[in-house]
Amino acid sequence: MLKQLFVTVGLTFCLAVAAQNNVTGYVYVDNNGQFDKKETGLAGVAVSNGKDIVLTDKNGLYQLPVSNDNIIFVIKPSGYQFKMNQYNQSGFYYIHKPQGSPTSSKYKGVAPTPALPKNLNFALSQQNEPVDFSVLVFGDPQPYNEQELSYFAKSIVDDVRTGNHVKFGISLGDIVGDNLDLHLPYKEIMTKLKLPWYNVMGNHDMNYEATTDSLSDETFERNFGPNNYSWNYGNTHFIILDNILYPDPRDGKGYWGGLRPDQIEFLRNDLALVDKNKLVVISFHIPFSNEGGDAIRLEDRQAMFDLLKNFDNCLLMSAHTHFQKQIYYKTSDGWQGKSQALHEYNVGTTSGDWYSGELDAAGIPDGTMRDGTPRGYAFLNIQNNKYNLRYKVAGKDSAYQIRIYAPKIVARNSRGAAPFYANFFMGSEKDLVEYKFDNGKWAEMLRDSTFDYTYLDMVTRWDETTTLLQGRRPSAPVATGHLWSAPVNKKLAPGKHTIYVRVKDVYGNIHEEQQSYIIQ
C-alpha cells in the first residue's frame, strides 16, 4: 500500500510538471496605462513561449501553449517600444513558473508565480526608429567580487560616451564571474548609461547545481528574464541565444557549446517570420568557431547555418575567449549561404585579461588581452541592412586603433632582421595594412601570426622584476590574427626617423598610427 502511494504521488507530480494549457491575451498600443476599449490591438505581432511562435490576429489577440516553466514574450515589432523598468530592461516578457525554481541552488531563482490571468496582455507604445543607428556592445564584464565590479564601473561604464545615435546595448555573457549576487549591483551600475540593455547568459552566469540544461538559467531568469528571445529595431532583427549546454550532455561534467532542439526550433520559427532583406544580428556567448577543436557541438552550428543561408545580411557576435577575432565561415565550414562568408565578430572583453596587469594611477588594472588587444568595448553601426564595427579602447581616444611595436634604436646598415609590428585591434584577413618610412612610398605589410610583443613585454616584467608589482600577473600570450610585420629600414641616414602605418579596413575606413626610431 505504501509503495502504491509513492507511485501515485510520483505520478501526480510528474503530471503536474508536464501539465500544459494555453495562455491568451492581447498585444496593444497603450494610451492610458491599461487595456480598455479605447486601446488599439496590434495585428501580426509575434508572441512566443520560447519555442512556438504565433501572430496576433486583427484584434491583437494571441493564444499559445504553456507548461509549468515558460517565459512568454513578445518579439518587438519595429516602430514600437515596451516600458522600461528601473534598470532599463524592457518589459517584453512574463515568467510563468507556478512551482518556482528549484530551491537547491546556491543563488535564488524565480519564486512561484501566481495563476495565469484570464488575459496576459502586453502594452506597447509607438516610437520613431531610424534605420541608421548604433548599438553599444560589451564582452564579458565578469567581475568576481565588488572590487572588480568597481573596476568595470570606473574604467568602462564611466568611459562610454554615446550620442543620440546609440539606441541600446548588449552584453555578450559572463556578466559576472560565478558570484550571481553581483547581478543586481551590475544592473545598478548599468543604469548610468541610460540605455535600454539586453543581456546574454554566459557560462559564469549559470546555476552550477543544475542537473539539466533547462534549469541552469534560473537565477539569470530572475534577474534578466529569458535567455533566448528576439526583437526588431529599424530594418534589423536581433536574436539572443544561450549557446551553453550545461551539464555537458556527453559526461555530465562542465559545459559544452551548442543549442538544445527547442532552441533550434525557436530559431527556425523566428527566422521564418523575418524579411529576407533585413539585417539579422545573432548574439551568444561562446564562439561557434570551435576554438580548441571541441568547444562547440558542430551539428548545432550547422543547423544555425542552414537556417541563415537564405539571408543576404547576417552578423554573429560572441565573447568568452578574452581576445578579439574576426571569423569568416566559408563553404569548408559548412556555410552555404548567399553571401560569400558568414561573419562572426568575437568581441574583446570589458574585463580584458580578467582584470590582470599592473595598476594605473587610479588603481585600475591594465587588463590588456592575451592577443595584445587593450581592454574596451565595441560599437555596431547599422545603416539600413548593412553594418560596420568599431572598437573603443578604454581610456583612449576613439582614433586609437593600432599599436606599433618597433626597435627604439638600430645600427645603420647592420646585418640581421629588425622587424616591427602593427597590431590593428579589429584586424582580419580582409584589411589592407601598409607602412612607410618618413616621406617614402607606401608598401604592404605581411600578416603575421606571432605573439604581440608589447603584451609579451608586459608579462615578462612580472618575471624580471626584483620588487613586487601592484596588480596581478597577466596570462601567457596567444598568437593573434590581427598582427602585421615589416622590416625596419636601417639604410637611412643617422638620426630620428618615423614609421607610418595606415589601415584600410573591410568597411573602407582609414586608420593611422606612427612611431619614431633612431638610426645610429
Please give the Cα distance from 487 to 403 (Å, whole number). 16
What 3-state DSSP class applies to 129? coil
Phi, psi of 426 (to 5 degrees): -100, 15
The interaxial angle of helices 261-271 and 298-308, nearest 10 deg, is 10
C-alpha cell at 517: 626610431
Strands 93-96 and 132-138: unpaired
H runs (alpha helix) in 276-392: 298-308
Residue with cell 535564488: 108
C-alpha cell at 512: 593611422
8 A C-beta contact, residue 494 and residue 520? yes
C-alpha cell at 440: 617614402
Please give the Cα distance from 290 to 295 (Å, whole number). 5
Please give the Cα distance from 355 to 375 (Å, whole number). 9
How many Cβ atoms from other residues are within 10 Å of residue 69's Cβ? 19
Low-confidence ranges of the chain (pLDDT < 50): 1-19
Q: Which residues contact 156 (CB under 8 A, 6 or more apart)?
A: 138, 141, 350, 375, 376, 377, 394
How many Cβ atoms from other residues are within 10 Å of residue 284's Cβ? 28
Peptide bond into 98 cis (omega under 30): no
Dmax over Cα atoms in the chain, in whole Å?
A: 101
Phi, psi of 516 (to 5 degrees): -100, 155
CA distances from 98 to 20, 24, 102, 398, 408 (A): 12, 17, 12, 49, 68
What 3-state DSSP class applies to 1? coil
H or E element, residue 283: strand 279-283
CA distances from 480 to 354, 384, 456, 461 (A): 18, 32, 12, 21
What 3-state DSSP class applies to 457? helix
Q: Which residues contact 438 (CB under 8 A, 6 or more apart)?
A: 492, 497, 498
Distance of CA 481 to the CA centre of its chain: 20
8 A C-beta contact, residue 200 and residue 242? yes
What 3-state DSSP class applies to 79? coil
Please give the Cα distance from 427 to 511 (Å, whole number). 11
Q: What pLDDT, on the 0 to 100 scale, is given for residue 10?
A: 40
H or E element, residue 503: strand 495-504
Please give the Cα distance from 291 to 288 (Å, whole number). 8
Strand order in the sheet with 279-283: 229-233, 236-240, 279-283, 313-318, 342-346, 325-329
Please give the Cα distance from 353 to 361 (Å, whole number). 19
H or E element, residue 74: strand 70-75
Dump pLDDT digits (tens) for 7-28. Answer: 333 433 343 344 459 999 999 9
Amino acid at 229: Y
Phi, psi of 192 (to 5 degrees): -60, -25
8 A C-beta contact, residue 483 and residue 452? yes
C-alpha cell at 80: 514600437
Dump pLDDT digits (tens) for 293-314. Answer: 789 999 999 999 999 999 999 9
Please give the Cα distance from 514 to 502 (Å, whole number). 9
- Helix, strand, coil shares of the chain, percent, nearest 5, are 20, 30, 50
Phi, psi of 451 (to 5 degrees): -75, 160
C-alpha cell at 470: 601592484
How many Cβ atoms from other residues are within 10 Å of residue 519's Cβ? 20
C-alpha cell at 351: 574585463
pTM of the model: 0.94
8 A C-beta contact, residue 294 and residue 245? no
